[in-house]
Structure 1
């Protein structure tokens, strides 16, 4: 058993092992020498990647999937109390460990950088992981998305830095004790867990208070919610701000689009520094500046880190090019909150020149659609035409009266050309019927809309 592996986790069983957060922890534990097992609802490339790491992955949930010699059961907040494997764990008297506590244990003894915020966590965490790796620092990392292949969302590195995506959705980021924490933005989301912005602020204040003595909070100077958080903290933690605001400690002087790249110039310690960001969009450029500021706070020279950031070329589902057919490019976007949708559509508009932008959008969660459906519709008005799918429920039960029609109506009211497509299997035909050579098609949302990209390409190829 490798050093730093909690004894209770030498034979862990993960319920929902294929999830982005869970699979990363499972992978690191396997690399540290644990005998990892778990279950997931369906087969996936992630499940296969875990098996290649030596993990036992069952498909479906059943009590007998939990081995008698398991030492603990790892769960996320999405696992319901009546899950048969969780019920069996109680019968066996096994400890149940929340995903965040497992991740916190993996960081113990290392120098953690925890990346938080309503949007941009996966990208910023990925940028840091790739840049630090390019510098030969061999970090460990746990990311909410794959870098370049299934199973590339986590790594047990030999260095002393651990970069982790810190999820605020269920307050689980309160478990971490980072040396450096990043807060990219603060907005109201995850409506099943937060009733107000006041609760959101309190949660982020708790996260900031967990920074170790002498550590640093890197926080946006541009985002209103982040600025309010900084005001509330009132100097209780060492803070470095970044952004285009004139009072930012790391001030962004310019962001120059260059097709699917950007050139960024910042003022850092009274010196100008220009570097490349290999993904399009102002929001991704600002994420890169946050990564730069965090690395500098950890003691890494800015000139070295800025050059290494260019090694980051994207993460799956974050404006990922899936292919081209009949002169139409299909790009996958994880955006599911109105702010994210707007940012990705604006980025694609800047990169597309005169090309039309078409969107196949799948709303994620009934609670989010109820609260933000109108804003989602207005965001879709930035596209030239859209197809809106039914809501992807994920962990939620339906809410009476809440359907994707809320988004469709708002989009039409904003002047958008939008079509409701209730049968997911009809989306490829609908999108192909809209498209013409030179168009860009975005499959957008946090659910299984991502699976439609290859099907849209196949249908386009038949034209």
Structure 2
């Protein structure tokens, strides 16, 4: 795979995505001539042009000429003309995750963070921890970090942290030295058959580790614990409720929902820590980052210094500002479990009513998790649900947001269907007040809309 990084010209199909654009920037920094295409122009494509890339808007076979290699996103269609042209010219093609693996190969320690939830936050935490070390940091994250406004960084370090996505089993292309698994639930059921299929895929990923490598698991998560049985490397656990290698004890929350806790390693106290991100789920995220950093030789001082000032990555309970006096938050939650913990975190805010504007993400997810989703919004005072964001799908599932709204109402909770995001404004104008949190929630374009309505 190292041959990919020795190429002179590389083309990226779907270059505008957060991960693809980050990889493209790394290739540019390595002196590789980058071309790329995407369906539409975006801030990401403009940044790439400023960095020296040649960007084509729209996919065309004409965009493939004399490149040495082509990297493509999993979101492209089977009949993509650029992919077909590359194959006809026998130009080597690489999946996005194969390009990440090529980058990882040059590092002595590679930390891959995976799981159904928390991947971006744990990887972001590790990135900040590595930046506190003398050797600096290298990382690839699925969101921009607030202090750099970038989703990547490449430095002459020995460690790299990467976010490892489980969709379509893409993480099987990666060969890290440490894997962190935060949790495992039913998700991406448009690809996976069922939960057992998902767990088997994680088990296969764990086999990529060598005997001296580390498998780091959230011991409080039942499905994650199932990976221990066949582990042929060093395994480390973290948790709150279960006896674990790393534990958080004496957890308290302040008026903003920020947790303070003590961290123990094999029953010996390592540190006291106060986070500037809210929610119990962020205690788990911090434990995952602490575990991975500590066993890979990062000092307690670097870990504590980084996490004490860590703030959320983009769209992870990100406070955007205010709307009519209410605190306006953008959050990426789109799975029922993510919705629940986000609402729980919001409840920890002092004397706040909670309003959620939720944009469901993909027809397959809503169809397969409809019952779970309908019960995920308990304790929300005002709930508005938009049309489903289709992303990569056509609606072959005979599902509609109104089905979700009807089920929520049937369970005794108020919910309102709104067709388009702009239609929520009259509703928000009626209810917005100083002691309210308005959470714009979802993995689609709701974040872009949220940023346009900040006071």
TM-score (normalizing by structure 1)? 0.93
Q: Which residue does 1:353 correspond to in 2?
A: 350
**Counterpart contact for 2:294–2:300, Cα < 8 Å:** yes
How far off is 1:260 after superposition? 4.9
Q: Which residue does 1:83 correspond to in 2?
A: 80
Among 216, 219, 222, the alignment partner of 1:218 is 216
Q: Equivalent residues in 2 for 1:291-306 (5 A)?
A: 291-306=289-304
**Counterpart contact for 1:429–1:456, Cα < 8 Å:** no
Indicate how the Cα distance of structure 1 residues 71 and 118 shifts in structure 2: closer, same or farther if over 3 A, else same: same
Greater alpha carbon shift after TM alignment, 161-170 vs 79-88 = 79-88
Q: Equivalent residues in 2 for 1:45-56 (5 A)?
A: 45-56=43-54
How far off is 1:39 after superposition? 1.2
Q: Equivalent residues in 2 for 1:117-132 (5 A)?
A: 117-132=115-130
How far off is 1:62 after superposition? 2.1
**Counterpart contact for 1:50–1:151, Cα < 8 Å:** no
How far off is 1:245 after superposition? 2.7
CA–CA distance in 2 between the matches of 1:189 and 1:64? 37
Classify the secondary structure of the residue corresponding to 1:229: coil
Indicate how the Cα distance of structure 1 residues 9 and 343 shifts in structure 2: closer, same or farther if over 3 A, else same: farther
Q: Which residue does 1:438 correspond to in 2?
A: 435
Q: Which residue does 1:330 correspond to in 2?
A: 328
CA–CA distance in 2 between the matches of 1:400 and 1:367? 7
- Deviation string 1:208-254 (CA, Å, 9 cap, x unpaired) is 11113301111001111112222x32x42211100113421111113
Number of equivalent positions: 452
Q: Which residue does 2:93 correspond to in 1?
A: 96
Classify the secondary structure of the residue corresponding to 2:184: coil
Among 242, 254, 268, the alignment partner of 1:271 is 268
**Counterpart contact for 2:129–2:302, Cα < 8 Å:** no
Indicate how the Cα distance of structure 1 residues 150 and 43 shifts in structure 2: closer, same or farther if over 3 A, else same: farther
Q: Which residue does 2:251 correspond to in 1?
A: 255
CA–CA distance in 2 between the matches of 1:48 and 1:254? 47
Classify the secondary structure of the residue corresponding to 1:379: coil
**Counterpart contact for 2:139–2:152, Cα < 8 Å:** yes
CA–CA distance in 2 between the matches of 1:195 and 1:89? 31
CA–CA distance in 2 between the matches of 1:237 and 1:149? 35
How far off is 1:69 after superposition? 2.1
Classify the secondary structure of the residue corresponding to 2:259: strand
Q: Which residue does 2:445 correspond to in 1?
A: 448
**Counterpart contact for 1:5–1:29, Cα < 8 Å:** no
Classify the secondary structure of the residue corresponding to 2:247: strand
Indicate how the Cα distance of structure 1 residues 209 and 303 shifts in structure 2: closer, same or farther if over 3 A, else same: same
CA–CA distance in 2 between the matches of 1:266 and 1:246? 14
Q: Which residue does 1:406 correspond to in 2?
A: 403
Classify the secondary structure of the residue corresponding to 1:396: coil
RMSD: 1.9
CA–CA distance in 2 between the matches of 1:195 and 1:434? 43
How far off is 1:396 after superposition? 1.0
Classify the secondary structure of the residue corresponding to 2:227: helix
- Deviation string 1:6-42 (CA, Å, 9 cap, x unpaired) is 3564311111111122112111111111111111122
Q: Equivalent residues in 2 for 1:76-225 (5 A)?
A: 76-110=73-107, 111-148=109-146, 152-225=150-223
**Counterpart contact for 2:125–2:306, Cα < 8 Å:** no
CA–CA distance in 1 between the matches of 2:252 and 2:376? 24
Classify the secondary structure of the residue corresponding to 1:312: coil
Indicate how the Cα distance of structure 1 residues 98 and 308 shifts in structure 2: closer, same or farther if over 3 A, else same: same
CA–CA distance in 2 between the matches of 1:429 and 1:279? 31
**Counterpart contact for 2:132–2:302, Cα < 8 Å:** no
How far off is 1:50 after superposition? 1.9
- Deviation string 1:341-385 (CA, Å, 9 cap, x unpaired) is 1111101111x2221111110111111000112212211233111
How far off is 1:171 after superposition? 0.7
TM-score (normalizing by structure 2)? 0.95
**Counterpart contact for 2:211–2:234, Cα < 8 Å:** no
How far off is 1:150 after superposition? 8.6
**Counterpart contact for 2:364–2:397, Cα < 8 Å:** no
How far off is 1:435 after superposition? 2.0
CA–CA distance in 2 between the matches of 1:21 and 1:93? 25
Q: Which residue does 2:239 correspond to in 1?
A: 243
**Counterpart contact for 1:275–1:307, Cα < 8 Å:** no
Indicate how the Cα distance of structure 1 residues 10 and 312 shifts in structure 2: closer, same or farther if over 3 A, else same: farther
CA–CA distance in 2 between the matches of 1:71 and 1:361? 43
How far off is 1:445 after superposition? 0.5
